[in-house]
Structure 1
């Protein structure tokens, strides 16, 4: 896509536009995207059918079959998201990252990670959902820290941080990445927002980068130290490869970016992960 050409992970960012892009398309424009259930359905291009209607909020199923009051609070990792969904209050999510978050390689905003994520979360957000896309390709910890005030100004209920890709590719020292990222995460947590992280991807450029494993480990170490959940993208991509019979280049065709196929898998998986961490069980129907 032309608007993405200057925003490439590991490549010069060019004249990146720092404006936030809110994913606010009407649901009727997203119906064709669908949300699959189970990896086999994803691989076959099948989409899940029955989404919850807003008026059916009280019929949402909860994990273990327990009522909201009966569930163990210790299992809930995203309490603010849970509270907003159960109370039918507006939910604001900021996606903060680089080209994966921006959607470089997607054929349209609706087929990007952010677009698919929004489509899959929206049926559960009967009080309204705003997904703010603050992804700019090619950026590392320093550039993301410079943009942190805009993220805080969003007043999000949930921030999904995605980073650590460009820093090893551009020779940023690991301690510098860790220090800046830790500061950012602590600042977001201080607002009361839920925070979740996403680790690195499976792609040729990172496989060939000797520094990448240390940054991958650092993301998980920070999540553990700050008690923040980390979406295991690298492990999931390897699992998709085995389960769907696809290779690394099928998921990241240009060596670093995910295209529609990979973004679809990622958006659905992250949405399911968020709902699970909020203690909300997914009850989508499985098409034959």
Structure 2
């Protein structure tokens, strides 16, 4: 079982400073490449094709190391102040977003209140794995883990990233037992449906598989479950009819099985249509996957709902998990 730990700047600086010296522009992630362009490396000496780091003077070597550290700091700062550039706001138009919501999360909330260890499994495909993020630290499960650990610094919180790119319900069901049920999670966040839309799979078949999977998780233990529907993005919007059916059916599964649902499609559409955020500000150039800001805001809203559920338990408001009245996330 893997545990995603929060971003530690000092440790990352120590490792990344040396690593950045060896990276070529082709190997760099987009954010790192941008930082490298801001501070060009010195031109190679045309008289020698065998110039090495060891051959440089101590002052020159310290200068290169300093520039590498500065680049790492730029990346870290860019990630750290991401919401200063574009704030992460919850949808205000609850009628447009609809009545779908995560609902209360009594199991994970009670464990956090009691100071017991908490295990969260993020189950899904590439947007769970974090494709499009500039670093694994910035995918949504890692962001969520960092937020919860800041909120509950003495708690033992483990967030497992069980995302595999390209999969949807048929492939996920094959690993549901080993990567979800056998882990005995307190909360399962199941992102599903996007690849089924892109692959023109029958939304009804997908919904049946998801319902079966939710039933199996419920039969195995007391885990809270939150389904995450497809993202609002150009690639998904090109299959608007199929996406609409998928979103509606996943909502029905959540209602039938008394589990929560995070209305990702409507939340992301609210970013664009109500908050006037350009789509390219939260979706990368492939027109499908989220960028650092998108993952960070997604994680923030998920975390806010978990924290809100804990607050309810502390106030003695033990709301059943099947109460699904919308609460701004």
Structure 1 range deviating more: 153-162 or 268-277: 268-277
Q: C-alpha distance in 1, partners of 2:103/2:112?
A: 13
Matched residue, 1:121:
148
Q: How far off is 1:45 after superposition?
A: 5.4
1:76/1:279 contact within 8 Å kept: no
Among residues 254, 257, 261, which one is paired with 1:223 in the alignment? 254
1:154 aligns with 2:191: no
Aligned residue number for residue 99 of structure 1? 126
Q: How does 1:77-88 map to 2 (within 5 A)?
A: 77-88=104-115
Cα distance between partner residues in 2 of 1:80 and 1:225: 19
What's the RMSD between the two structures over aligned residues? 2.6
Worse overlay, 24-33 or 118-127: 24-33
Q: Residue deviations 1:164-211, cap 9 Å, x none? A: 101121122222211111010111122111111111111111100131
1: CA distance between counterparts of 2:310 and 2:207? 27
CA distance in 1, matches of 2:242, 2:263: 18
Q: Distance in 1 between matches of 2:139 and 2:265?
A: 18
Contact 2:228 2:261 in 1 (8 A): yes
1:24 is matched with: 5
1:135-168 residue CA offsets vs partner (Å, 9 max, x unmatched):
0111011001001012111111100010010112
- Match of 1:172, SS state, is coil
- Asked if the contact 1:95–1:101 (Cα under 8 Å) also holds between the matched residues in 2, the reply is yes
Q: Which residue of 2 aligns with 1:136?
A: 164
**8 A Cα contact 2:103 2:259, kept in partner:** no
- Tell me the residue number matched to 2:196: 167
Superposed displacement of residue 273, structure 1: 1.8
Pairing 1:190-269 to 2, within 5 Å after superposition: 190=219, 191-209=221-239, 210-242=241-273, 244-253=275-284, 254-269=286-301
Answer yes or no: is the 8 Å Cα contact 1:202–1:252 preserved in 2: no
SS at match of 1:214: helix
CA displacement at 1:43 relative to structure 2? 5.4
Alignment partner of 2:309 out of 260, 273, 277: 277
Q: Does the 8 Å CA contact 1:104/1:257 hold for their aligned counterparts?
A: yes
- Do the aligned partners of 2:189 and 2:225 also contact (CA within 8 Å) in 1? yes
Structure 1 segments (4+ residues) deviating >4 Å: 25-34
Alignment of 1:67-82 (within 5 A): 77-82=104-109
Give the match's secondary structure for 1:147: helix
Unaligned runs of 5+ in 1: 1-19, 48-74, 282-288
Residue 187, structure 1, aligned to residue 216, structure 2: yes
CA distance in 2: counterparts of 1:160 and 1:76, whole angstroms: 13
- TM-score, structure 1 length as denominator? 0.72
Deviation at 1:242, TM superposition (A): 4.4
CA drift of 1:236 comes to 1.4
Answer 1 or 2: which has greater helix percent: 2
Residues 6, 143 of structure 2: 8 Å contact kept: no
Kept in 1, the 8 Å contact 2:231–2:264? The answer is yes
Alpha-carbon deviation of 1:88? 1.0
Q: Distance in 2 between matches of 1:188 and 1:230?
A: 15
Tell me the equivalent position of 2:117.
90
Check if 1:44 corresponds to 2:85.
Answer: yes
